């Protein structure tokens, strides 16, 4: 499918920056908040931006590589168990979304389990997990395209419901391995530097994970971003890729979470330029490769709290910072309004 993603329209940049500079503060004294306010103002093409119906979509999918347990300390069944936990409101992402009044939607992108149309779960299952990329590409090309399309369609639905700021999370045992493979493909950084602890793998187990993924990486030579996503990715990662692309096309502010979501962004960015204009990077994950991803994209995140949980938790925790940026832009007095004299005499 094709997307039309235009570069950020900067025609209002001087007007918005002037408004920021005239607030009752020294120029630049609100630091990153000023940059966020300007970016969102440009995305929305207004000097009085608003954050409407903030939403996080969590995509869940299983990975064929995880069935053998070579790269993951937790069994594949944990993916489905965590989906139930999301639906019952017991996960960290539930707590943070409730705290900050963020709408949370859970999507079955390709979990190896039948959920029987359980209430609250969006059934977008492509298949019961991906193929094991030790033996064959993770997805058939049409499956990957369908996943991208589905992620995009879900964002369109949220947008049509009034949302203009969106974040993405994921759940999938084995997906840090898929993300490491994608990271190495798009950044040209060695697999050894891309592979991290995932759900807690260490020592000899981590070395085995690196060796398995190095073998997988050498097995394939994808000729395009789409082919790389189909070869190494997961259904949840492909859906996030499509979701990021559609959000940019619709000129929504997009909160980028940690290692897995940034891997999806690497794919999206390789497919279409201008995507990054609409992204705010929420946090630095403690997963080894994430800082290197951010360096590759030349982006600085809002916070670094040592988190590496996934689920979209970094995006949810960073969201109040973004609300503060909009609050000062819209509600803080100017020098003239406050009758504050800025002259030296």
How many residues are present in the chain? 345
Which two three-digit tokens encode residue 24?
């009752």
For residue 156, which of 71, 234, 247 has the smallest C-alpha distance? 247
pLDDT for 345 beyond 60: no
For residues 50, 56, 57 and 62, what is the CA-based torsion angle, rounded to 10 degrees? 150
Which two three-digit tokens encode residue 126?
């492509």
Q: What is the pLDDT, as a whole number, of residue 343?
A: 67
Q: What is the pLDDT, as a whole number, of residue 340?
A: 85
pLDDT for 198 beyond 80: no
Mean pLDDT of 80-109: 98
Quick one: CA dihedral 235, 237, 242, 247, positive or negative? positive
pLDDT for 16 beyond 70: yes
Residue 188's CB is within 10 A of a number of other CB atoms, namely 8
Q: What is the pLDDT, as a whole number, of residue 197?
A: 60
Confidence of residue 215 (pLDDT cuts 50, 70, 90): very high
Q: Can you give the pTM of this predicted structure?
A: 0.96
3-state secondary structure of 63: coil
d(CA 251, CA 201): 38
Confidence of residue 8 (pLDDT cuts 50, 70, 90): very high
- Alpha carbon 254 to its chain's center: 8
pLDDT for 167 beyond 60: yes
In sequence order, the 6+-apart residues with CB closer than 8 A to the CB of 74 are 173, 199, 200
Q: What is the pLDDT, as a whole number, of residue 204?
A: 72
The helix (H) or strand (E) run that includes residue 55 is strand 55-61
Neighbour-count burial of 28, counting CB atoms closer than 10 A to its CB (0-12 exposed, 13-18 middle, 19+ buried): exposed
* Cβ(167)–Cβ(319) below 8 Å: yes
Share of the chain above pLDDT 90, in %: 89
Q: What is the pLDDT, as a whole number, of residue 164?
A: 98
Q: What is the pLDDT, as a whole number, of residue 46?
A: 98
Q: What is the pLDDT, as a whole number, of residue 127?
A: 98
Q: Is the model more confident about 91 or about 337?
A: 91
**DSSP per-residue letters across 180-220:** HHHHHHHH---HHHH---TTT--HHHHHHHHHHHHHHHHH-
Confidence of residue 338 (pLDDT cuts 50, 70, 90): confident
For residue 266, which of 197, 181, 151, 170 has the smallest C-alpha distance? 181
d(CA 184, CA 298): 16
d(CA 64, CA 140): 13
Confidence of residue 59 (pLDDT cuts 50, 70, 90): very high
Neighbour-count burial of 27, counting CB atoms closer than 10 A to its CB (0-12 exposed, 13-18 middle, 19+ buried): exposed
* Cβ(23)–Cβ(333) below 8 Å: yes
End-to-end Cα spacing for the chain: 62
Q: Is 311 left (phi over 0), alpha (psi -120 to 50) or beta?
A: left
Confidence of residue 199 (pLDDT cuts 50, 70, 90): low
- Considering 311, 336, 337, 344, which one is annotated as catalytic? 311
Mean pLDDT of 17-24: 97
Q: What is the pLDDT, as a whole number, of residue 202?
A: 65
> What pairs with residue 122 in β-bridges?
107
Q: Is 25 left (phi over 0), alpha (psi -120 to 50) or beta?
A: beta
Rg over alpha carbons for the chain, rounded to the nearest Å, is 21
pLDDT in tens, 253-288: 999 999 999 999 999 999 999 999 999 999 999 998
Helix locations, 220-258, DSSP H? 225-232, 235-249
d(CA 6, CA 273): 8
* Residue 311 designated active-site: yes
């Amino acid at each position: 499918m094709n997307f039309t993603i235009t570069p950020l329209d900067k025609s209002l940049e001087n007007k918005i920056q002037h408004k920021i500079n005239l607030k009752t503060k020294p120029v630049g004294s609100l630091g990153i908040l000023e940059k966020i306010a300007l970016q969102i103002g440009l995305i929305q093409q207004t000097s009085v931006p608003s954050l409407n119906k903030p939403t996080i979509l969590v995509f869940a999918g299983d990975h064929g590589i995880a069935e053998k347990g070579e790269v993951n300390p937790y069994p594949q069944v944990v993916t489905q168990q965590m989906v139930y936990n999301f639906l019952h409101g017991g996960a960290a992402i539930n707590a943070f979304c409730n705290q900050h009044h963020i709408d949370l939607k859970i999507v079955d992108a390709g979990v190896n389990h039948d959920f029987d149309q359980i209430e609250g779960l969006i059934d977008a299952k492509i298949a019961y997990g991906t193929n094991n990329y030790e033996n064959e590409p993770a997805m058939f090309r049409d499956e990957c395209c369908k996943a991208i399309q589905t992620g995009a369609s879900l964002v369109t639905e949220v947008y049509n419901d009034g949302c203009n700021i969106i974040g993405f999370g994921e759940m999938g045992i084995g997906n840090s391995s898929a993300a490491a493979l994608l990271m190495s493909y798009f950044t040209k950084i060695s697999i050894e530097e891309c592979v991290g602890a995932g759900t807690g793998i260490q020592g000899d187990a981590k070395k085995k994970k690196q060796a398995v993924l190095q073998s997988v990486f050498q097995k394939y030579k994808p000729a395009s971003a789409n082919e790389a996503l189909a070869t190494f990715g997961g259904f949840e990662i492909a859906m996030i890729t499509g979701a990021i692309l559609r959000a940019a096309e619709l000129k929504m502010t997009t909160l980028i979470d940690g290692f897995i979501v940034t891997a999806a962004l690497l794919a999206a960015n390789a497919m279409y330029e201008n995507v990054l204009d609409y992204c705010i990077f929420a946090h630095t994950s403690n997963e080894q490769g994430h800082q290197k991803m951010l360096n590759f994209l030349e982006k600085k995140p809002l916070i670094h709290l040592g988190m590496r949980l996934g689920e979209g938790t970094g995006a949810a925790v960073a969201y109040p910072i973004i609300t503060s940026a909009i609050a000062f832009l819209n509600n803080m007095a100017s020098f003239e309004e406050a009758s504050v004299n800025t002259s030296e005499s």
